[in-house]
Amino acid sequence: MSAGYDEFALLHENAEEFGLRFAGPPPLRRERVEVAPGRGLSALVWGRAEPRLALLHGGAQNAHTWDTVALALELPLVALDLPGHGHSDWRPEHDYWPPLLAEDVAVALARLAPRAELVVGMSLGGLTAICLAAQHPELVRRLAVVDVTPGTDHAKAEPIVSFVSGPEEFASFDEILERTVRFNPTRSRASLRRGVIHNAKPLADGRWTWRYDRMRNWKLGGGDARAPDFASLWPLLDAVKAPLLLVRGGLSGVVGDEDVAELRRRQPRARVEVVAGAGHSVQGDKPLELAALLRAFLTA
């Protein structure tokens, strides 16, 4: 599969599954930005005009998780591969604490989307986006966070941690796909197959492995990735000056009502939306609904 892998060849499937018009691949290219000596961050740039949105995916995902949302929006945007994910280089110390990720993302956005009107982050990307808004407010004019807050802990994220902490290698593509299907009951098999194609790669002996730096090896601020604790990031919300939107998946337990209350205490003007029928990965489960919310927030 890798020998003929064309990362843009499956976009027609995204469009067909969700009833979007598709007259051929849109203007789309992959860019690489050096964020530190010898270490680069990769991104997908949609459209020829200056990007209006910047999209940050969740842990153990990659920029292609936004493909259907990007097709639905029909706006110029950039979708980043976070460090350690997709086609971006791994951090040498395997430290993916959100404030550190935000510094790498800031370098990339300053180059690719310095005037983006909206930064969107999902899960780990959402925590990174909060840090980015606090540390580099000039790059975040509006902020949308998808199904995460600093209140996310091991208990709330347990299904996700269980999935990404599984086997490191698989005997075949079908084996890695079947495990993905078991852990993602809210998603179509076709959608998950596309996701695995973008997020896994074959090894020299024919076995398969993920493209991302293994979460079980991640250092999160000196802590244990198997028991993430992001509570120390709450104060960063106080520094966010940009208008804020929180999108929750209606079927997800990653964000609790107590987290929403704390977010509203720190950001009284924040807008909160719940997408019915969506799990944690709202962009995969209900991409059209998420795109509509983002477009409305962008133009409010």
123, 191, 252, 281: the active-site residue: 123
Q: Helix, strand, or coil here: 152?
A: coil
> Is 95 annotated as catalytic?
no
Task: Give the Cα separation of 31 and 27 in Å (integer).
Answer: 13
CA-nearest of 296, 290, 259 to 70 is 290
User: Token pair of 215, please?
Assistant: 């979460």
Radius of gyration of the chain, Cα coordinates, nearest whole angstrom: 18
104, 252, 280, 281: the active-site residue: 280
89, 147, 259, 285: the active-site residue: 147
Task: Give the Cα separation of 113 and 136 in Å (integer).
Answer: 13
- Helices then strands, counting H and E runs in the chain, come out as 11, 13
Give ∠ CA 32-34-79 in degrees, rounded to 5.
40
Quickly list H helices, the chain.
11-17, 67-73, 98-112, 124-135, 154-164, 173-183, 189-199, 234-238, 257-266, 282-285, 287-299
Task: Give the Cα separation of 282 and 277 in Å (integer).
Answer: 9
> Is 123 annotated as catalytic?
yes
Contacting residues for 226 by C-beta, under 8 A, at least 6 apart: 154, 161, 165, 215, 216
> Is 147 annotated as catalytic?
yes
* DSSP character string of 226-272: TS-B-GGGHHHHHT--S-EEEEEETT--SS-HHHHHHHHHH-TT-EE
Task: Give the Cα separation of 205 and 35 in Å (integer).
Answer: 33
Active site residues: 123, 147, 280
